[in-house]
Structure 1
Amino acid sequence: MSTERRAPLDRERVADTALRLLNEVGLDGLSLRVIARELDVKAPALYWHFKDKQALLDEMATQMYRRMAAGVAFDPADTWQERLLKTNRGLRTALLGYRDGARVFSGTRFTGTAHAPALEANLRLLTGAGFTLAQATDAGRTANAFTLGFVIEEQGMRPFRGEARQDLDIGERARLLAEFPLAAAVGELLFDDYDRQFEEGLALVLAGIAARYGID
């Protein structure tokens, strides 16, 4: 019998294992049973820590956020535009680090208060720039929703690092839409250079926020 002691089973270890498996099997293939097998425990043991898969996703999103926050440096001298750019660029980068990362993150609730300092700082910066608290909330939520939605679409076409859907042929798409020349030509803009698409879309969101609230 082996005398090697395994690391204790806790929420952080389970979530860390789940995030690692996520890159192998994707969200649809991730289950408590799969995670339990990887941890060499019985599935019921996980229910001591997570009542269901949604609770696990909440913890996974929290772990993703902690890792993201550790890699994003904010400058107190940031303008509100710079802060929202940094926040959402960092979020996109973090989500792209996991297969189905945006689907995991979307709709979850953080399990702790690790997000509170950055949220407080961002709200203080925006309200200091002239936004009301409600406007600052709407501005941040809108930029966040754009980023999540964009990455969900991006990962639908490019599921994980370097992968691409094999059934997309832009040339064939253009041929099928030949009698609709603008619709045919737009394929190259819709399904390529996601970095450019994201930056342009986020710039449009920020310009809209500034125009809506009259804050430069």
Structure 2
Amino acid sequence: MATRLDRKLVAETALRLLNDVGLDGLTLRRIAKELDVQAPALYWHFKNKQELLDEMATELYERMTAPLTAAGADAVDGDWKALLTETCTGMRRTLLGYRDGGKVFGGTRLRNSAPMRPMETYMTVLTGAGFRPHRAARAWFTVYTYTIGYVIEEQSIFPVPGEPWRDPTYDLEDRERRLGADFPLTVVAGEEFFGDTARGFEDGLRAVIAGIEATLLHGR
């Protein structure tokens, strides 16, 4: 019996193809070939590539937040810093598993009500810790956008998921040879930007959360 074609199946197939073709090479025609159907069959579900990306982002978000959705707010015991840290760390890990994962996820519109439950959990924990509701929302959106932006930059350096291969543009030794004499501090900055990106993410996230605590926790 043929597999029933629906939006979820198409999105899952598209995500599976990402590591082979990247975002630029991902087309409805290519997905149709993978599913062994004619391209017009996909246009019944998606008018254009943006709608497909929205569905892919929704699928990714559901995967990222599934543990939190299942456990609920009680699982984090009111520790808002741990919640934001664990959520953003998991989000980064998920997106790095897909070529161009950050670009696929950033700027998309989630397609159903699935994000509402984890968002309610974030807001519940943050307001329970003393954030006013609009400040809680700002706190969440700040770490969320930091994470997405960081992953997009990180994947420009290491474009192949799970591989240590570095885009030659970001070769640190080459940068030092070319720039070191005239721009020594820029070379140091490049080592921080393009070196140990995992450590850089953790350092930056701690700084963001510390800033949130200092400016949003007791703000109006």
Q: TM-score range by the shorter chain?
A: over 0.9
Report the counterpart of residue 107 of structure 1 in structure 2: 107
Report the counterpart of residue 158 of structure 1 in structure 2: 158
Per-residue deviation at 1:214? 4.7
Read off the aligned partner of 1:191 and give its amino acid letter.
F
Per-residue deviation at 1:119? 0.8
CA displacement 1:49-76 (0-9 Å, x = unmatched) = 1111111111111111122223556624
Q: Which one of the candidate residues 33, 38, 44 is aligned to 1:37? A: 33
The 8 Å contact of residues 76 and 82 in structure 2, kept in 1 or not, is answered as no
Q: Which moved more, 1:99-108 or 1:112-121?
A: 112-121
Report the counterpart of residue 79 of structure 1 in structure 2: 79
Aligned partner of residue 195 in structure 2, secondary structure: coil
Q: Following the alignment from structure 1 to structure 2, what is the Cα–Cα distance between the partners of residues 154 and 97?
A: 12
Per-residue deviation at 1:181? 1.8
Read off the aligned partner of 2:35 and give its amino acid letter.
L
The 8 Å contact of residues 135 and 217 in structure 2, kept in 1 or not, is answered as no
The 8 Å contact of residues 14 and 56 in structure 2, kept in 1 or not, is answered as yes
Read off the aligned partner of 2:192 and give its amino acid letter.
L
Report the counterpart of residue 66 of structure 2 in structure 1: 70
**1:21 maps to 2:17:** yes
The 8 Å contact of residues 26 and 99 in structure 1, kept in 2 or not, is answered as yes
Report the counterpart of residue 138 of structure 1 in structure 2: 138
Read off the aligned partner of 1:133 and give its amino acid letter.
P
The 8 Å contact of residues 58 and 110 in structure 2, kept in 1 or not, is answered as yes
Aligned partner of residue 41 in structure 1, secondary structure: coil
Report the TM-score, using the length of structure 1 for normalisation: 0.92
**1:207 maps to 2:210:** yes
Sort the Cα spacing of 1:187 and 1:76 in 2 relative to 1 into closer, same or farther, 3 A: closer
Q: Following the alignment from structure 2 to structure 1, what is the Cα–Cα distance between the partners of residues 166 and 146?
A: 22
Report the counterpart of residue 171 of structure 1 in structure 2: 173
Q: When you count helix as a share of all residues, which structure comes out higher?
A: 2
Per-residue deviation at 1:144? 0.4
Q: List structure 1 segments (4+ residues) > 3 angstroms apart after TM superposition.
A: 71-74
Aligned partner of residue 170 in structure 2, secondary structure: coil
Q: Following the alignment from structure 1 to structure 2, what is the Cα–Cα distance between the partners of residues 141 and 213?
A: 12
Read off the aligned partner of 2:30 and give its amino acid letter.
V
Per-residue deviation at 1:78? 3.6
Q: Following the alignment from structure 2 to structure 1, what is the Cα–Cα distance between the partners of residues 79 and 40?
A: 49
Q: Following the alignment from structure 1 to structure 2, what is the Cα–Cα distance between the partners of residues 60 and 145?
A: 18
Per-residue deviation at 1:99? 0.4
Read off the aligned partner of 1:136 and give its amino acid letter.
A
Q: Which runs of 5+ in 2 are unaligned?
A: none
Q: Which runs of 5+ in 1 are unaligned?
A: none
Report the counterpart of residue 193 of structure 1 in structure 2: 196
Q: Following the alignment from structure 2 to structure 1, what is the Cα–Cα distance between the partners of residues 138 and 13?
A: 34
Report the counterpart of residue 61 of structure 1 in structure 2: 57
Read off the aligned partner of 1:99 and give its amino acid letter.
R
Q: Following the alignment from structure 1 to structure 2, what is the Cα–Cα distance between the partners of residues 38 and 130?
A: 50
Aligned partner of residue 186 in structure 1, secondary structure: helix
Read off the aligned partner of 2:198 and give its amino acid letter.
D
The 8 Å contact of residues 175 and 184 in structure 1, kept in 2 or not, is answered as no
Report the TM-score, using the length of structure 2 for normalisation: 0.90
